[in-house]
Amino acid sequence: MTWTLPNILTVLRLIAAPGVAIMFLYFHRPWADWFALTLFVTAAVTDWFDGYLARLWKQESKFGAMLDPIADKAMVVIALVIITGYSGMNPWLILPVTIILFREVFVSGLREYLGAKAGLLKVTKLAKWKTTAQMIAIAVLFLGTGLEHVEAIRLQGKTVEQYADLVSQGLAAPIPFCGTKDCSSYAAWGGMVLIWVAAILTAITGWDYFRKSLPYLKDDTRA
């Protein structure tokens, strides 16, 4: 491969994917949430820049074309696993996340099976909108998980650990200061709506790829 700036950005985005999880290993919340949000958003922005620069400078490469969707999927999958775990395994979140993960695995397997014919499953504009919707939804959900802790600290003057103890004893709950709800609730609901939109777009694009591949999945019945 040629180490052009677009390729470097793609590689950095791939490295950033596990970095999102590492934030929760080395930092306490809500700092882990903020660092993960910052890293995720920064990496997501490079997703637009690397493609734009590659086309602008005529530096498109097979390596970049191969690695770009892998980096996107790694970012989305790792972030969704983290958010689902820290959101208390909310079934309304688990369902769209399951749809997204199933589609990504299914389409990746489909491309692998088709081999040389996988080029027929070109990335569509709707698929690009799907990726954008996923990344925006994940960013908003990270914002919600971080705000939940910030509200507790700011309004009650306690550390994350002290507040967590009070919540576990049933003696404390987030105090509203964004109208009738706390700010984290707005972010959580906004993220939930966006992740469902992303899941629907994901399902539609998955079906589109499957439909296009059907002619190449039929058994040869000729003697």
Cα–Cα distance measured from residue 51 to residue 206, given in angstroms and rounded to the nearest whole number: 22
How far apart, in whole angstroms, are the C-alpha atoms of residue 151 and residue 53? 40
Residue 193's domain comprises 5-216
Residue 190 placed within a domain:
yes
| pTM of this structure | 0.77
CATH code, domain carrying 145: 1.20.120
In a domain, 45, yes or no: yes
With respect to residue 57, please indicate whether it lies within any of the assigned structural domains. yes
- Asked whether residue 222 is assigned to any structural domain, the reply reads no
Reduce the DSSP state of residue 181 to 3 states and report it.
Answer: strand
Residue 186's nearest CA partner among 144, 151, 150, 142 is 144
Residue 221 lies in a domain: no
In which band, very low, low, confident or very high, does the pLDDT at 173 lie, cut at 50, 70 and 90? Answer: low
Domain-embedded: residue 185: yes
With respect to residue 223, please indicate whether it lies within any of the assigned structural domains.
Answer: no
Alpha-carbon distance values, 22 to 18, 28, 68 (Å): 6, 11, 21
Looking at the structure of the chain, the number of domains it has is 1
Asked if residue 21 is part of any domain, the answer here is yes
Tens digit of pLDDT for each residue in 27-50? 887 788 889 999 999 988 887 877
